[in-house]
Amino acid sequence: MNGPNEKIIAITGASSGIGAATARELAARGATVLLGARRTDRLDELVAGIRADGGRAEALAVDVTRRADLQRLVDRAVEGHGRLDVLVSNAGIARVAPMTDLDVDDWEAMIDVNLRGVLHGISAALPLFRRQGRGHFVTTASTSGLKIVPTQAVYAGVKNAVRTTMEALRQESTDGSVRTTTISPGYVRTELVDHVEDPVRRAQYRQNMAELGIGPDAVARAIAFAVEQPDDVEIGDIVLRPTRQD
């Protein structure tokens, strides 16, 4: 098997949901995971649990809207382990509303976290990956970027931008030094919609997630599948959704 075993893997948005599940999955497979998020209390709890199970994990306060935070995460990997093999850019937020609501602050927040956060990760890790001659970017997008629906215009647009960016980076990296993988999940039981302001929409999304959603561990296994491939194999895109999602 080509498992993650000795790989050094950094994960953003690691304090809950897909990020936390991915941390546990990869650590269980032998990787050393460096976990970044804003909620450090949750990170500390996650790290303690991974270590109690015999895994290797570290935590670092990371706000992906701050470029310096991503650089610190990458630097921590190099200082502590001599390299970084994989960067999983998972931090994300969702705000849904009709365009006519003009929720400009929410638009900017999604751009800052969901797109600019990914770009900050690329800017921090790409020079290192080039120097190393190898590295892997794994980025969480969404099926919302594939099927456009009302109230998700900006969220879908940003996720589409992430997919486009990763595909362009893939085409620029055919020398084999950098691999890219975009994961596009459908409904997953996470906290993603907890901050949707409209209570009716929030309740509807929560109901959809509860009734249709798959567990975040399913996404974690997909990420592990992409990561465990040999260096000459690139899993460019993975779309996974509940079987009952339209």
| Domain ranges across the chain | 8-231
CB 86 within 8 A of CB 135: yes
Q: In the prediction, which pLDDT does 66 show?
A: 98
Question: pLDDT for 40-73, tens place per residue?
Answer: 999 999 999 999 999 999 999 999 999 999 999 9
The pair of three-digit structure tokens given for residue 138, joined into one six-digit string: 């794994």
Query: How far is residue 17's CA from residue 85's CA, in Å, rounded to a whole number?
Result: 22
Distance CA 96, CA 92 (A): 13
Compute CA distances 242 → 102, 128, 224, whole Å.
Answer: 31, 36, 19
Contact 219, 240 (CB under 8 A): yes
Fold designation for 8-231 = Rossmann fold (3.40.50)
Is the confidence at residue 205, as pLDDT, over 90?
no
Identified catalytic residue from 107, 137, 155, 187: 155
Q: At 200, is the pLDDT very low, low, confident or very high (cuts 50, 70, 90)?
A: confident
pTM, rounded to two decimals: 0.92
Query: What pLDDT is attached to residue 1?
Result: 37
Among 76-80, 156-160, 181-185, 211-215, the least confident range:
211-215
Distance (Å, whole) CA 45 – CA 22: 15
Helix (H) or strand (E) holding 156: helix 153-171
HSE at residue 96, side-chain half, CA atoms within 13 A, is 21
Spatial contact of 91 and 19, defined as CB atoms under 8 Å apart: yes
Active site residue 155: yes
Q: Where are the beta strands (DSSP E) in the chain?
A: 8-12, 32-37, 56-61, 86-89, 136-140, 179-185, 237-240
